Structure 1
Amino acid sequence: MTAVSRHYVLAAGGTGGHLIPAFALATELERRGHHVALITDTRGAAIPGKPASLPAHVLPAGRVEGMNPIGWIKGARGIMEGRRMALRLFESFQPSAVVGFGGYPALPALLAARSARLPALIHEQNAVLGRVNRFMAGRVDAIATGFGEVDRLSPRYAHKVTLVGNPVRDEVLALREQPFPPFTADGLLRILVTGGSQGARVLSEVVPDGLAMLPPALRSRLQVIQQCRPEDIETVRERYAQHGIPAELATYFEDMAERLADAHLFIGRAGASTIAELTAVGRPAILIPLPIATDDHQAANTREIVAAGGARAIRQDKFTATELAKQIQAMAQHPETLANAAHAAWNCGYPNAAADLADLVESFGGAPLMDVIRMGGQHSAKGAEAFALERSE
């Protein structure tokens, strides 16, 4: 626990990609004795995994996009109303700093922090700076990143940037020191397939047929766990049955951490949280970036792990049963190849992401002397002094 208890506001869009790191930071800050509140939208307030102790405040968050001027006006009104409500929350909660995790619901809170002259930080999960974070990059005091290389992040903000990685859930991080599950020349090959919270149709269409094209000696050893869309699950079940491949299918797995712990190979999308969990645990992967992701950020997310040898990426327009079988065979034909890829993925992980992000957050908004006492000096004092200097200019 820290020497002084503070209040912090976290603001995030309503998707898991924005909220998973926010929840991890909230848990870490509460562990240190702080009080935390969340600003999000209706989706975020209801999303599974929110810490029970974390109060969620739903604020208006208009979207300013497209070519319709009427839409711009409505969006701007929503943003300003959200900003006013955030300011009222700040008056009662008195936060020491506000942390934005991207998504339009984060924008009003960050604008309110600027108006109230509160320290403001942003955390970018993806390897491309998102729209809200891009807009606020010049207006905040610090920028934390999940990847070492982030596109659309201007070099003029380099002095604000700290690489922390993407925080992951405690139950996933606990698997980091467990060894890669034994994989032998005649043992089972356990494959985990997911496509996000609702599954991905392209995975349901391609993966069963791709696995069926593997050489018989490898195909006979398969054990598949796959998350599917509700409307696809019976069709996928029939395909696996036709191919004689044992597969456990569901629309949602509550014990996903345990499934990941047992897996030898992951097949799925390349969201920032997915990459963070794969690298935290050390699991080889075949990644199919979502082609409609904003700024193609999922493709950018694959760069580090692919370059390290921990994963292979296949563009969706090239993602065929033949190509998938080719890539699986290249990775799993020899046990040592898969184990080496697992180790390469593990080396890309940032296991201290939540703690490092919490350290950065704590370095703003407090008395420099208190920070030196708590943190042992340089990092925290530097952050507080930089904040004080910037506010005085």
Structure 2
Amino acid sequence: MTNARSYVLAAGGTGGHMVPAAALAAELASRGHHVALVSDDRGVRFPGLFEDVETHVLPAGRLGGGPLGYLRAGRNVLAGRSMALRLYKELKPAAVIGFGGYPALPSLLAAFRAGIPTVIHEQNAVLGRVNRFVAGRVKAIATSYDQVERMKPGWTAKTHLVGNPVREAVLRLRERPYPALDEDGIFRVLVTGGSQGATVLSQVVPDGLALLPVHFRRRLQVTHQARIEDIDSVRAKYQAHEIPADLATYIADMPEALAWAHVVIARAGASTIAELTAAGRPAILVPLPSATDDHQTANAREITKAGGARTIPQRAFTAAELAKQIQKLGLDTQGLENAAVRARSCGRPHAASDLADLVESIHAPTAPIAIRRKAIQGRLAHA
């Protein structure tokens, strides 16, 4: 490829940042470009995402902890920026793309200092703190939702709706039909709290499923991802309720787990929503109440409004409420299939490709206009 370039992706260490970064890395690599990842220790070791990508760990400070904490964070950010500047002299990146999270900050500050074009991608429906801090200086802002809170009006001209990239294996689920559910067939429930698990799901879900009528409860098959400190007690609950359940602290093949499920009970993290809408799976969502700026509640709005999910605030997430919602879903086969279609309608399957187009276009002043026009004309239609 004669116009092959080098790109640096900078992302925080959680799955919400790393999964879309990995999807973009794969897309850019497929176009013949060289891609390097800059993150923290967690990010570069994220299982199954970056085995074929050059990775670098830079120091980054997380704000907090009083005056000493801020001072320590500032020193780490400056040290990370210096290391990134040295790295850029070697890699000569055509652009630096930030995916949020504190580990992305030093790389973006170094790009500003070196005059390297920058793009940020926001996975959530609320602009995150690091992205908010740098948004005024970057050349383009890519968003996952049509409406994103904490965006300033002055940024509209450089903002582009692309969606939240997911792994190719998840995208392929769009080609597979929703699993048939006979009246007396097995009802398959996937429970996942994201890459870190969720204790509240482990506390409530087994007891909620146990409240279902006996004829329904006997049809259940559960796959439940739980935190390591919760897994033994969760297993004991399912056994006491005589509900068949497979438990794991990490689901290695999440695409296959999604393909298997009739309904998903989950948090409302950005990657979770992107995968649910890519695959077309109905969900019961319990947003994390402590999420910064309550962004998980904002993430859940689109799919819930479309009818592809039901959102229950954590304060109202009780065993009785869960049983009521599951029974409504499970006893209406046609309604469940309709919810799957509505969840799928919120997906943006071209997100990785459109984000890569935007990244490649950042060198040509008029090219981003074409990206925006493409979105308006339906390139990002929920196919």
TM over 0.5: yes
Amino acid across the alignment from 2:146: G
Superposed displacement of residue 147, structure 1: 1.2
- Distance in 2 (CA, whole Å) between partners of 1:350 and 1:7 is 26
Equivalent residues of 1:363, 1:379 under 8 A apart:
no
- Distance in 2 (CA, whole Å) between partners of 1:116 and 1:281 is 40
**Distance verdict in 2 for CA 1:96–1:367, change over 3 Å:** farther
Superposed displacement of residue 366, structure 1: 5.7
**Distance verdict in 2 for CA 1:189–1:161, change over 3 Å:** same
Equivalent residues of 1:20, 1:167 under 8 A apart:
yes
- Distance in 2 (CA, whole Å) between partners of 1:162 and 1:249 is 40
TM-score (ref. length: structure 1):
0.91
2:349 maps to which residue?
Answer: 351
1:210 maps to which residue?
Answer: 208
Matched, 1:308 2:306: yes
**Distance verdict in 2 for CA 1:235–1:196, change over 3 Å:** same
Q: Secondary structure at the match of 1:176?
A: helix
1:390 maps to which residue?
Answer: none
2:189 maps to which residue?
Answer: 191
- Distance in 1 (CA, whole Å) between partners of 2:199 and 2:251 is 17
Superposed displacement of residue 273, structure 1: 0.2
Superposed displacement of residue 382, structure 1: 9.9
Q: In the TM superposition, what are the counterparts of 1:1-393 in structure 2 within 5 Å?
A: 3-66=2-65, 68-365=66-363, 379=370
**Cα deviation per residue 1:127-152 (whole Å; 9 max; x = unaligned)?**
11000000111010000011111111
Equivalent residues of 2:160, 2:372 under 8 A apart:
no
- Distance in 2 (CA, whole Å) between partners of 1:238 and 1:50 is 33
- Distance in 2 (CA, whole Å) between partners of 1:343 and 1:362 is 33
**Distance verdict in 2 for CA 1:309–1:129, change over 3 Å:** same
Question: Which deviates more, 186-195 or 303-312?
Answer: 186-195
**Cα deviation per residue 1:202-256 (whole Å; 9 max; x = unaligned)?**
1111111111111223222111111122222222222212222111112222222
- Distance in 2 (CA, whole Å) between partners of 1:177 and 1:281 is 9
Question: Which deviates more, 200-209 or 280-289?
Answer: 200-209
- Distance in 1 (CA, whole Å) between partners of 2:192 and 2:26 is 26
Amino acid across the alignment from 2:86: R
Amino acid across the alignment from 2:78: M
Q: Secondary structure at the match of 1:121?
A: strand
- Distance in 2 (CA, whole Å) between partners of 1:205 and 1:74 is 37
Equivalent residues of 1:19, 1:44 under 8 A apart:
yes
**Distance verdict in 2 for CA 1:362–1:382, change over 3 Å:** farther
Superposed displacement of residue 332, structure 1: 1.8
- Distance in 1 (CA, whole Å) between partners of 2:357 and 2:131 is 20
1:387 maps to which residue?
Answer: none
- Distance in 1 (CA, whole Å) between partners of 2:47 and 2:258 is 18
Superposed displacement of residue 262, structure 1: 0.9
- Distance in 1 (CA, whole Å) between partners of 2:257 and 2:74 is 44
- Distance in 2 (CA, whole Å) between partners of 1:354 and 1:381 is 15
Q: Secondary structure at the match of 1:156?
A: helix
Equivalent residues of 1:118, 1:365 under 8 A apart:
no
Amino acid across the alignment from 1:71: G
Structure 1 stretches lacking a partner, 5+ long: 372-376, 384-393
- Distance in 2 (CA, whole Å) between partners of 1:381 and 1:186 is 48
- Distance in 1 (CA, whole Å) between partners of 2:185 and 2:25 is 41
Superposed displacement of residue 378, structure 1: 6.6
Q: Secondary structure at the match of 1:18?
A: helix
**Distance verdict in 2 for CA 1:156–1:122, change over 3 Å:** same
Q: What percentage of residue pairs aligned between the two structures are identical?
A: 61
Amino acid across the alignment from 1:354: A
**Distance verdict in 2 for CA 1:357–1:218, change over 3 Å:** same
Equivalent residues of 1:14, 1:41 under 8 A apart:
yes
**Distance verdict in 2 for CA 1:169–1:252, change over 3 Å:** same
| Superposed CA RMSD | 1.9
Structure 2 stretches lacking a partner, 5+ long: 375-383
Equivalent residues of 2:354, 2:371 under 8 A apart:
no
- Distance in 2 (CA, whole Å) between partners of 1:327 and 1:310 is 13
- Distance in 2 (CA, whole Å) between partners of 1:3 and 1:210 is 58
- Distance in 2 (CA, whole Å) between partners of 1:382 and 1:322 is 48
Question: Which deviates more, 28-37 or 45-54?
Answer: 45-54
Superposed displacement of residue 381, structure 1: 12
1:391 maps to which residue?
Answer: none
Q: Which runs of 4+ in 1 moved over 4 A?
A: 380-383
Q: Secondary structure at the match of 2:138?
A: coil
**Distance verdict in 2 for CA 1:366–1:94, change over 3 Å:** farther
Equivalent residues of 1:45, 1:56 under 8 A apart:
yes
